[in-house]
Amino acid sequence: KGKSARESLEEQGLWDEYRGKFPFNPTRFDDQSLSVSSEQMTNDADLAYFGVISIGTPPQSFTVIFDTGSSNLWIPSIYCSSAACANHNKFNPGLSSTFKNAGKSLSIQYGTGSMTGFEGFDTVVVGGIPVKNQIFGLSQSEAPFMAHMKADGILGLAYPRLAASQATPVFDNMMTQHLVNKDMFSVYLTRNSEVGSMVTFGGVDPNHYYGQIAWIPLSSQMYWQITVDSVTVNGQIVACNGGCQAIVDTGTSNIVGPQADISSMARAVGAYSANGDNVVNCNSINNMPAMVFHIHGQAFTLPASTYVRQSTYYGCRTGLQSSNSDLWILGDIFIRQYYSIFIGLAVSSKSRQPLH
């Protein structure tokens, strides 16, 4: 539990300044040549989820965001002099007997923030699973916004095709090294800053969902990308008319889509624009309509209580965020409502699929 990066900035009156300097840039999701057992996660005010991993021999511990919207693992290093590294744990390769320098530089751009550094190999333990010779990034510089992140680094869970410098993702090494019972991982996200969020490698936890699991085929194997048929409010199509592409991304807190569609959805639920957010009257939440995402013949309903967040500093806002990209992002707002299972590589090229 604790303040998110955004809440910390809001409290200091710096959010609007930072939002202007470091705007969220979902266009990273369009770049196809970017150069750039269970683990409990901490729910950081419903805006980020992170858990603890260790790297090296003896182990050095770090908190990381488990991010299905990227593929690289990286953490701060002792060679980083950025302000963002000053208040985070830093890896010291000289203290690990199993560390090997990969001799390659690394640069990654995220929706908010970026890092540069170099790559190395070492033993990485995730949820009690030791992954040997895992390549990872050691940051030497980080964007200022990352100083306000609770987590030290990021552990990417998307496809190898997305990884900067062709690094092999942690989960792919888990599968290759036969470290998991089944080639899958699943994600359970709590709400209202509650404890209990979980990423499970090698299986599912039936205690975290009920009903039938709906299989959703992937439309592309870079992100966990699927086809959304439409979005409706009160039975009327308000967005994604004729179908659209979306990625299921634990590393993004909101639902992100094209500006025209997001504006249409906001109007349909009674939100209005203020300070770059889609704002609602806090007293109206119980009377607001649900949003329904129609995916592969299934209806995934998001009641107003799931997509409206109340801030101490900015009132009540929807988790709807516009971008200049046609690719939608179904972030934590969606995943909190629907337990998500991600199936790994198997014989068929269509076998790696998220389930909701």
Residues catalogued as catalytic: 67, 249
Residue pair 325/27 in contact (Cβ under 8 Å)? The answer is: yes
Cis peptide leading into residue 58 (ω within 30°)? yes
193 phi-psi bin (left φ>0, alpha ψ -120 to 50, beta other): left
Cα 19 from Cα 40, distance rounded (Å): 30
Residue pair 49/189 in contact (Cβ under 8 Å)? The answer is: yes
233-260: burial string, b at 16+ Cβ within 10 Å, e else: beeebbbbeeebbbbbbbbbbbbbbbee
The H or E element spanning position 162 is: none
DSSP sequence for 216-267: ---SEETTEEEEE-EEEETTEEEE-TT-EEEEE-TT--SEEEEHHHHHHHHH
Q: Which one-letter DSSP state was computed for residue 28?
A: G
Which tokens go with 3? 């303040």
Find how far residue 127's CA is from the centre of its chain: 18
Which tokens go with 101? 């320098």
